[in-house]
A = this chain, B = another copy of it.
Amino acid sequence: MAGAGALIQIGVVGCADIARKVSRAITLSPNATISAVASRSYDKAASFAADNSFPPTAKVYGSYEALLDDPDVDAVYMPLPTSLHLKWALLAATKKKHLLLEKPVALDVGEFDEIAEACEYNGLQFMDNTMWVHHPRTTAITHFLTDPHRFGLLKSVNSCFTFAADADYLKNNIRVKPNLDSLGSLGDVGWYCITASLLTANYELPKTVIASPEPVLNQDGVILECGASLYWEDGKVATFRCSFLANLTMDITAIGTKGNLHVHDFGIPFHEKEASFSAGTQTSFNDLATGWSSQPTKHTVKTHLPQEARLVTEFARLVGEIKYKNSKPEKKWPIISRKTQLVLDAVKTSIQRGCEPVQIQESGVKEFVAV
């Protein structure tokens, strides 16, 4: 099991529900395999491995430390609550494990930088687990949005990611607990809206962020529902809304000077093997304005591998480049993650300040380490 063709050995650190989906994705990926799983309880880890068809070679650990000490593990996928990311991500970096970290990456950009710098210092690939950007549909969308003839310049983008959490979720889920995932819906589903806003703006950071009035917090101060507007220097604007309290909806609507884009399932496509978007260019009414002479058209993109497996494949590819070819880690991924975290922080700060505008400082635009 050595050489450029060998599978990247991934350890799963934590048995959260999302780890079921990602474990399947690792199994589906042609260049990765699950080599270990850890929980704070050995039994829980063993059950998880059995329930999720882990390969018989996968080792089971009753502690995260034990897995991180396993020399056969190249990289870890870490679906722990956000408040635990700093501790365990730093330890993973110390143990030279490449890191696929669940989003939101950190409680704030200060923590983010500690994690990303530890990965950088140790020559490790960092990637957050935002799956949708790895779908070939997203590539097609990006081509459309960056085409001066088909889309022109971005003017505005609205996105949303909401779902209706049930009573049990709103009482017991880690995402409503201030000591676990204190960023609540902003960190969970708002993260996607921010990635959508940034991707649509070609990853240019906004200048100003303003949270919408009257966010909904639970009794412990965790955000259950909020919105925000992002403003760029050139006048373009992004608005988004994220919520645990409204029916499942997951949209991007982007309007450019020459085109428009609609996506209704951007974070998780309706179907696993194909996904669609609607694109319009120089849409127009007919002469009497009794209908449209040019309207948006639907584009469908097929994918053999689901987006989460494409993410794992890309992560494992980069890990393999480092492991077998002595390459440097790909900085694109931590840079995108950091920008997302910066905007998320600004929204949170705006909420804390009564929805005052928050400036994103120019220094925030810089990469977190000198190249």
Contact = CB atoms under 8 A, between A and B. Distances in A.
Interface of A: 18, 20-21, 24, 152, 155-156, 158, 160, 162, 164, 208, 210, 212-214, 216, 225, 227, 229, 231, 235, 237, 239, 241, 243, 245-249, 251, 253, 255-260, 262, 264-265, 268-272, 278, 280-285, 288-292, 295-296, 306, 308, 357
Contacts of A290: 21, 24, 268, 272, 306, 308
> Which of A20, A237, A288, A357 is most buried by chain B, counting CB atoms within 10 A of its CB?
A288
A59 to B, nearest CB: 24
Q: How often does this chain occur in the complex, in copies? A: 2
A158 B160 contact: yes
A259 to B, nearest CB: 5
Given A162-B255, A290-B272, A248 B213 contact: no
Contacts of A248: 260, 280, 283-285, 292
15 contacts: A21-B290, A155-B162, A155-B246, A156-B241, A164-B258, A208-B213, A212-B239, A214-B231, A214-B237, A237-B241, A243-B255, A247-B256, A247-B260, A262-B264, A268-B290
Nearest to A281: B247
Nearest to A273: B291
B260 A285 contact: no
A336 B347 CA distance: 35
Contact of A210 (B160, B162, B213, B258): B213
A281 B268 CA distance: 17
> Which of A247, A259, A308 is most buried by chain B, counting CB atoms within 10 A of its CB?
A247
B283 A249 contact: yes
Given A282-B247, A284-B248, A253 B160 contact: yes
